């Protein structure tokens, strides 16, 4: 019953919105996408002053608009510790550990980050459903942005390409310059998941800055101007500097049990307030120890 559920969105109509249709208010003033409105039409409920209405209804000042949408988790909630960097009513930012799978798939039907997020929210009495905005590979550690409701997810998904995302990576060899741009088109495979570079691929740009040079390796900071799958790994490998520990796009590295890639910084506009959030995640201790064992130049 809808009486037992909490609306994921609630707004009071202002006098200057009198005569507007619900759909127009939601799109112009609250950044609702056409897709989200369609989902609510199909699987949700729109109420004005506690009465079910259509999105074409014209509004009066001080009307109360409430939206409901089924948000039950598609994964089984499981309880485990999470490294929470930031949280409010709209979003959750987690520092993912290396080795953590993002979503259930194939043989990984439990123990994923999505399972643990659902369990965490359920324990708090919140709807155990979440929307992972950015993705990290299993071996990559660092910041993962999670929306807690459909509107936040819709807004952040449109913003994700413009978010500032910074990574730290230890690469083989030494770069000829301290700063540079890697600009190779990335080709998606017809079979499997391994990407390549080539003129027929999709545009992808990665900027790098050398942080520290070692005898056989270089620690670099990387920022993305596009968000292709495996972009950093493909670009660094194609430039002759594969990431240490990445035996998929490079080669096995003695002493490295996982890929040396960490999502260290995330900057984006908050989906509700519009304020800029700047979040950091320090290099994990296992990667620090690896650096301590290297000879500096």
Active-site residue set: 137
Closest CA to 246 of 167, 141, 170: 170
Distance of CA 171 to the CA centre of its chain: 24
Q: Is 178 left (phi over 0), alpha (psi -120 to 50) or beta?
A: alpha
95 contacts: CB under 8 Å, gap ≥ 6: 83, 84, 85, 141, 142, 143, 144, 281
Closest CA to 130 of 107, 143, 113: 113
Closest CA to 195 of 243, 142, 233: 233
Q: Record the tokens describing residue 124, joined without a space.
A: 């708090």
CA 176/CA 168 separation, integer angstroms: 18
Q: How far is CA 130 from CA 177, 194, 235, in A?
A: 42, 28, 31
DSSP 283: P
CA 131/CA 117 separation, integer angstroms: 10
Q: How far is CA 291 from CA 38, 237, 255, in A?
A: 50, 20, 11
Q: How far is CA 134 from CA 105, 200, 280, in A?
A: 17, 25, 15
């Amino acid at each position: 019953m809808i009486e037992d559920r909490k609306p994921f969105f609630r707004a009071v109509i202002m006098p200057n919105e009198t005569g507007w249709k619900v759909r127009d208010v939601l799109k112009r003033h609250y950044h609702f996408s056409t897709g989200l409105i369609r989902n609510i039409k199909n699987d949700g409920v729109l109420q004005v002053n506690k009465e079910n209405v259509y999105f074409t209804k014209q509004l009066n000042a001080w009307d109360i608009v409430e939206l409901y949408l089924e948000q039950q988790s598609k994964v089984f909630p499981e309880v485990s510790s999470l490294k929470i960097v930031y949280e409010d009513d709209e979003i959750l930012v987690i520092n993912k550990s290396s080795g953590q799978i993002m979503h259930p798939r194939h043989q990984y039907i439990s123990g994923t980050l999505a399972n643990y997020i659902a369990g965490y929210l359920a324990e708090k009495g919140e709807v155990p459903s979440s929307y992972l905005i950015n993705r990290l590979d299993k071996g990559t550690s660092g910041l993962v942005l999670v929306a807690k409701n459909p509107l936040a997810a819709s807004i952040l998904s449109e913003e994700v390409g413009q978010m500032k995302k910074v990574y730290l990576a230890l690469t083989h060899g030494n770069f000829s310059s301290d700063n540079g741009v890697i600009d190779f088109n990335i080709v998606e495979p017809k079979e499997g998941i391994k990407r390549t570079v080539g003129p027929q691929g999709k545009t992808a740009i990665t900027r790098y800055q050398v942080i520290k040079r070692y005898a056989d390796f270089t620690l670099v900071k990387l920022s993305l101007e596009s968000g292709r799958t495996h972009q950093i790994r493909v670009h660094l490998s194609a430039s002759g500097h594969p990431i240490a520990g990445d035996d998929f796009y490079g080669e096995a590295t003695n002493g490295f049990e996982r890929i040396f890639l960490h999502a260290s910084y995330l900057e984006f506009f908050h989906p509700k307030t519009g304020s800029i959030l700047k979040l950091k995640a320090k290099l994990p201790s296992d990667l620090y120890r690896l650096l301590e064992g290297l000879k500096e130049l």
